[in-house]
Amino acid sequence: MEIKEMTLNEIPLTLIKTDKFKTINIQVVFLGEFSKENATKKSLLTRILSNSTKNFPTKKALATKLLDLYDASAGVTTYPSGKTAVTVFSIEVVNEKNLGIEGLTREAVEMLYEVIFNPNLEGGLFPEKDFNEQKRVLKERLNNVYNNKTRYALRQMLKKMAPDEIISVSSLGSLEDLEPLTNAELVSQYKEMIEKENISIYVCGDFEEESIIKDLSLFGSLKNNPHNYETVLTEPVKVEKVREFFEKQKIQQAKLIMGFRSDINSKSPQFPASLVFNAMYGGLFSSDLIRLVREENSLAYTITSMFLDDVMVMVVAAGIDGSKYGLTTDLVIKQLEDYKQGRLDPELMQTAKENIASDLLQTEDNPAQLINYFLRNYLHGLKYQVSDLVAAVKSVTLEDVQKVAQGINLDTIFLLTGEDDDGKAL
């Protein structure tokens, strides 16, 4: 595998050359501001852009074209990193070498360019029918969050925990912001992205450098915006008092979500130690939380911890019997306290390191993940190669993990529970 970072006129270009994949993956990434005001617009915009273009003005035309490119897969997504919105246009196409034909990569690049720069505008607006259709689709999608109980509970917890912070804003958008959104506002959001946001391009596969640069020359005339983006939050939030919230629904299994504040973000020197902490605490199948809560006390089928490292939050999520609420939260809290006191199992730390190292190395086996790794570096201004991060993880000590734990404090507990569960535990 050979990685080259260069610029295409003003646009940063990362070329990842490897012969182990049978595909060429290309991603064009825009960075802009992520805020409560624009989250819903960005969410709707990605839907509209992925459904039609000027030359392929219907879903049918666009889908047919992708089939003709040997079932190429194209997509547009947007997600936040701190206060930055990351909007990714991607295409995956079979490498023409594997088909014994020529020109397929070029066509894929042209298609990607078409989706980004040639939207289906009529008189300066998206077609009213498409606009209303995608608005309705997004509305139903937002309504549907209620149907996925774990996701719903997580969103509710974040809203309760930090109602005025960026953490509580969902990149899917919100119903109240969607309702008044106009076609003209959406178009100006699109123009802002094209004219003001930061662009970078990533390619992964078995290509000839000269030839891929020639194909990408379409993008070469673009101007770029070298703005500094806030891709992580940096101010730790102090917890005054742990707050608990309950909601009842007609469900069989209660969803417990616990939100913690941490003092580490993706750019912190302690980031590798936070990976090890998370794996040991609740990230691995052999983690302490699984052992305690599932194996020793049969309280849950799943319990897991994860870091939202761009916003300095850690979450513990579990599906439990609602009446076991007190017992489960006590175990989760006590386990964190043990870590803070330095009661850590060196063997489990070794296991955690092995597993993180293996996961990191595996990013090299998947073109999209590989691109994502380099995008993450670009976002946060980091220079870690995969092997550097593996080495950093391997050198983490028990004291480092203890320090991570000491910077973590429980903030908010949310329990989504069954209507039939008796109120005693609450």
| Site for another protein, rule CB under 8 A | 1, 18-23, 47, 58-60, 63-64, 67-73, 92-94, 98-99, 133-134, 136-137, 140-141, 143-144, 146-147, 149, 249-253, 284-286, 294-295, 298, 300-302, 319-321, 347, 350-351, 354-355, 357-359, 361-362, 364-367
Of 100 and 226, which has the nearer Cβ to another protein? 100
* Residue 395: CB minimum distance to another protein, A: 16
* Residue 112: CB minimum distance to another protein, A: 16
Of 366 and 377, which has the nearer Cβ to another protein? 366
Of 352 and 375, which has the nearer Cβ to another protein? 352
Q: Rounded to 5 degrees, what are φ and ψ at 402?
A: -60, -40
Q: Both tokens of residue 337?
A: 């306290």
Of 20 and 191, which has the nearer Cβ to another protein? 20
Angle between helices 183-196 and 128-144 in degrees, nearest 10:
90
Of 3 and 99, which has the nearer Cβ to another protein? 99
DSSP collapsed to 3 states, 139-152: HHHHHHHHHCHHHH
Neighbouring C-alpha atoms within 13 Å toward the C-beta of 286? 11
The letter for the amino acid at 92 is E
Angle between helices 325-340 and 398-406 in degrees, nearest 10:
130
Of 81 and 417, which has the nearer Cβ to another protein? 417
Chain position carrying tokens 């605490």: 281
* Residue 309: CB minimum distance to another protein, A: 21
Of 353 and 380, which has the nearer Cβ to another protein? 353
Q: Quick check: helix, strand or coil at residue 408? A: coil
Calpha distance 15→12 (Å, rounded): 10
8 Å CB contact between 62 and 56: yes
* Residue 53: CB minimum distance to another protein, A: 15
* Residue 268: CB minimum distance to another protein, A: 25
* Residue 73: CB minimum distance to another protein, A: 7
Q: Any bridge partners for residue 415, and if so which?
A: 246, 256
* 227 CB-near residues (< 8 Å, 6+ apart): 31, 198
Of 199 and 203, which has the nearer Cβ to another protein? 203
Q: How far apart are the first and last CA of the chain?
A: 55
Residues 399, 263, 40, 85: is their CA dihedral positive or negative? negative
Calpha distance 121→133 (Å, rounded): 15
8 Å CB contact between 55 and 118: yes
* Residue 264: CB minimum distance to another protein, A: 24
* Residue 331: CB minimum distance to another protein, A: 15
* Residue 179: CB minimum distance to another protein, A: 17
Of 351 and 377, which has the nearer Cβ to another protein? 351
